[in-house]
Amino acid sequence: MTSTIRRITDRTLATAVAAAALSGGLALATPATVSAAPADCNYMGYLSGPDRLGLQLDSAEQSVANKINAYRVQNGRAALRVSSILARPTMWASLDDARRGVAPSDHIDSRGMGPAQRAQFCSGYTGPIGEINYWGYGGGPLNNEKGTADAAFAWWKQSPPHNALMLSTQYTTFSVARAYLGVNAERAFWTVDFGTS
């Protein structure tokens, strides 16, 4: 099996996958000292065309952002602003999860960094941060929808710690990122980082 990493408008990681499962995770973190190195958290070359596109929300990511904000407003919380500062660490977390084939519940990436260290390393952000992640199979010939925006949001809502983080008043901003495997998004990896930048 070969993997080709692509993160253009549709955020595709091309690989063949067939099975059904899902997983989610939650992390709250405090910043630690790490040197900021955004060039090491890029997609297909720092500030390349694909990298810049990867930092923008695609339609599925915007759907999750809209769902979280509507849910917050429905529950008497202020809507969050999309953070351009958190975009790079959030994108990198989803890409890293997809490369490894899992969204770890401890939120430790392949560099050994948690959300706070990753945010500082990838963007220089040192404020409060919370992270939720999710992965699931969906799309393709199996027509399984566990990797969709709706599935991720539904899973976070039914999990008390994830739900509490989505509704937290500690944060004012957030970023959403999705990477997926297969040309039909047979397996999707979602990350949402909450912060104050």
Q: Is residue 182 very low, low, confident or very high in pLDDT (cuts 50, 70, 90)?
A: confident
pLDDT at 142 exceeding the cut of 80: no
Nearest-angstrom CA–CA distance, 82 and 96: 21
Do residues 51 and 138 touch, judged by C-beta distance below 8 A?
no
User: Of 29-43, 61-75, 124-138, which one has max mean pLDDT?
Assistant: 61-75
Q: Is residue 108 very low, low, confident or very high in pLDDT (cuts 50, 70, 90)?
A: very high
Nearest-angstrom CA–CA distance, 44 and 52: 10
Q: Is residue 46 very low, low, confident or very high in pLDDT (cuts 50, 70, 90)?
A: confident
| Torsion angle, alpha carbons of 69, 136, 25, 100, to 10 | -120
Q: Is residue 17 very low, low, confident or very high in pLDDT (cuts 50, 70, 90)?
A: very low
Q: What's the pLDDT score for residue 148?
A: 86
Nearest-angstrom CA–CA distance, 78 and 175: 16
pLDDT at 172 exceeding the cut of 50: yes
Q: How far is CA 37 from CA 124, 133, 150, in A?
A: 8, 23, 33
Give 181's strand partners. Answer: 13, 187
pLDDT at 6 exceeding the cut of 80: no
- Percentage of the chain surpassing pLDDT 90? 57
pLDDT at 132 exceeding the cut of 90: yes
Computed over every residue of the chain, the mean pLDDT equals 81
- Per the model's pLDDT, the better-predicted residue between 143 and 175 turns out to be 175
Q: Is residue 140 very low, low, confident or very high in pLDDT (cuts 50, 70, 90)?
A: low
What does pTM read for this prediction? 0.80
**pLDDT average, residue stretch 106-130:** 95
Q: What's the pLDDT score for residue 86?
A: 97
The beta strand positions in the chain, using DSSP E, are 4-5, 12-14, 22-29, 81-82, 129-139, 144-145, 173-181, 187-195
Nearest-angstrom CA–CA distance, 155 and 135: 10
